[in-house]
Amino acid sequence: MSYTYEYPRVALTVDGVVFGLDGGELKVLLIERGIAPFKGQWALPGGFVHENETLEAAVARELEEEAGLHGVFLEQLYTFGAVRRDPRERIVSVAYYALVNLADHTTRAATDAADARWFPAARPPGLAFDHAEILTMALQRLRGKLRYEPVGFELLPEKFTLTQLQQLYESVLGVPLDKRNFRKKVLGFDLLIPLEETFRDGPHRPAQLFRFDPARYEQLKQEGFHFEL
Partner DNA sequence: TTGACAAAGTGTAAAAATGACACTAAATAC
Partner DNA sequence: GTATTTAGTGTCATTTTTACACTTTGTCAA
DSSP state letter for 24: T
Q: Does 12 bind DNA (CB under 7 A)?
A: no
CB-wise, 106 or 163, nearer to DNA?
A: 163
Q: Does 226 bind DNA (CB under 7 A)?
A: no
Residues 151-180 touching DNA, rule: CB under 7 A, are 161-163, 178-180
CB-wise, 84 or 226, nearer to DNA?
A: 226
Ramachandran angles phi, psi of 175, nearest 5°? -135, 145
CB-wise, 47 or 157, nearer to a copy of itself?
A: 47
How many Å apart are CA 100 and CA 21, to the nearest integer?
8
How many Cα atoms occupy the beta-carbon half-sphere of 182 within 13 Å?
16
Residues paired with 99 in a beta bridge? 19, 73
Helix axes 131-148, 162-173, angle to 10 degrees: 130
Site string for DNA, 18-47 (x = CB under 7 A): ------------------------------
CB-wise, 67 or 168, nearer to DNA?
A: 168
Q: Does 9 bind a copy of itself (CB under 8 A)?
A: yes
Helices (H), 8-94: 55-67
